[in-house]
Amino acid sequence: MSLPGIAIGLHGGCGTLERSLQSEADWQQSREHLALALRAGWRILKAGGRALDAVQAAVVVMEDSPHFNAGHGAALTDKAEHELDASIMDGAALAAGAVCTVRRIRNPVLAARAVLDGGQAVLMSGAAADDFAESQGLAMVAPNYFTTQRRVDALRLLQQRAETGAFVPASEAEKHGTVGAVARDMQGHLAAATSTGGFNNKPSGRVGDSPIIGAGTYAKDGVCAVSCTGQGEIFIRRVAAYDLAARISYGGQALDAAATTLVFDTLASHGIGAGLVALGASGNPVAPFNTLGMARGWITTDGELTVATHLELHPMGPA
């Protein structure tokens, strides 16, 4: 059933494991969680709700899933601690909110939204951001809530390699991971949100692109909404999310061409794995990536739901 221009897309990070390193049951559950996230956002859009609320709802589902590097299941720092980042942006008003290096907020994207709604800041950090979220009545947890055995094992392996001097290039899955969503509502407004635990064994205090507006997240009505995934330092240096918008608004490129060039040319020129999900003023989401895989999915303007983790797509019928 066609609805007035609504659509949603998401990614679960371009740091996807090789297929053989996880059971088919785990891959199936990952795809199911992607579908749950999409449907959470779609319900809001279908009822006439805001794109901003839809991307928030989708990211919350992925933050609650152990299969993605955000919220529960987030990466560990070099001190075996969690420091989480998130951002959200409303393309209608160019309003944005973000938090970084937080440790106690169950759903960092909700804290980013509270910053946006508060209107006094765009980015809040560390303990002050945790305290702010608590003052707003958000769910708080002990830091070990975020820890999973997979992340503990990954940290131990990376640190053992460093101690022994073994040069084994880290996989994309070991290096990073992020979740994000983009949406367009019935009023034509766009929104984007991104959340991450950073990369395994990252230096304490490191902040990547995910909470940086214009680097990992950007939305502007009539242009695009985008959430990025990959090595955050390069995305910051290239102002990647805003670069996509500029290619469209100033360069006159179509969304698909602009996103493809950004991922396979601009970002790939730095020798990094990169991906994104983006949605334009009309049409359906695009999700290019230059890695082994990227957890991703979308519900198109005709209401059809598709998810994927590697190259092959898994159509799931009407949302």
- Provide the whole-model pTM: 0.94
Per the rule left: phi > 0, alpha: psi between -120 and 50, beta: everything else, 218 is beta
pLDDT of residue 27: 84
Mean pLDDT of the 44-64 span? 98
pLDDT confidence of residue 1: 42
Paired sense of beta strands 84-90 and 95-102, if any: antiparallel
Q: What is the pLDDT of residue 172?
A: 45
Q: Is the pLDDT of residue 100 over 50?
A: yes
- What's the whole-number mean pLDDT along residues 19-38? 86
Looking at 75-89, 94-108, 171-185, which range is the least confident one?
A: 171-185
Residue 154 pLDDT > 90: no
Residue 16's pLDDT band (cuts 50, 70, 90): low
Q: How far apart are CA 319 and CA 306, in angstroms?
A: 9
Q: Which of 16, 101, 147, 178 is catalytic?
A: 178
Active site residue 178: yes
Which residue's entry shows tokens 């973000």?
Answer: 98
Q: What is the gyration radius of the CA atoms in the chain, in angstroms?
A: 18
Task: State which CATH number among 3.30.70.2860, 3.60.20.30, 3.40.50.300, 1.10.10.60 fits the domain covering 7-318.
Answer: 3.60.20.30
Quick one: average pLDDT of 129-141? 98
Whether 219 and 90 have beta carbons less than 8 Å apart is answered as: yes
- How many percent of the chain have pLDDT more than 70? 92
Task: Summarize the confidence of residues 85-95 as an average pLDDT.
Answer: 98
Instruction: Identify which has the larger pLDDT, 94 or 162.
Output: 94
Higher pLDDT, 174 or 68: 68
> Is 21 a residue whose pLDDT tops 80?
no
Determine the average pLDDT of the residues in 187-196: 98
2 band by pLDDT with thresholds 50, 70 and 90: very low
Residue 4's pLDDT band, with cuts at 50, 70 and 90, is low
Average pLDDT, integer, range 208-227: 98
Q: Rounded mean pLDDT of the chain? A: 93
Distance CA 191, CA 204 (A): 30
Which burial class, exposed, middle or buried, applies to 143 when counting CB atoms under 10 A from its CB (0-12, 13-18, 19+)? middle
- Residue 319 has, within 13 A of its CA and on its CB side, a CA count of 31
Compute φ and ψ for 282, nearest 5 degrees. -150, 165
User: Chain-centre distance of CA 157, in angstroms?
Assistant: 25
Confidence of residue 177 (pLDDT cuts 50, 70, 90): confident
Tokens (6 digits) for 225:
């909404």
Q: Among 14-23, 112-121, 153-162, 192-201, where is mean pLDDT lowest?
A: 14-23
